[in-house]
Amino acid sequence: MRQNLSIFPQPAVTWCQFSDEISGTWRMRMINNLGVMVCNRSVFHPENGLSVEDFPDGLYYLYLDSPDKQYVGKLLIQH
């Protein structure tokens, strides 16, 4: 079952953080508003936040998956 992921600030300029307690190793996927996967990688300790400087402006759906939990949230990037 997927849980909602709170992401802030919205819009993100260079960096975003998650309000949920997320630690350890996760699979992160980002899908843009056209349905194209723009990122699919393992992330370690996402509680430290995520740099968004390399992503173009737009609306993204961010998925974080571990073996026992799944989160999804919307992320607006605006440089």
Nearest-angstrom CA–CA distance, 75 and 13: 11
Report the pLDDT value the prediction gives residue 45, as an integer from 0 to 100: 75
Domain ranges of the chain: 2-77
Query: Domain 2-77 class?
Result: mainly beta
Residue with the bigger pLDDT between 47 and 65: it is 65
pTM of the model: 0.88
Give the three-state DSSP class for 21: coil
pLDDT category, 15, cuts 50, 70, 90? very high
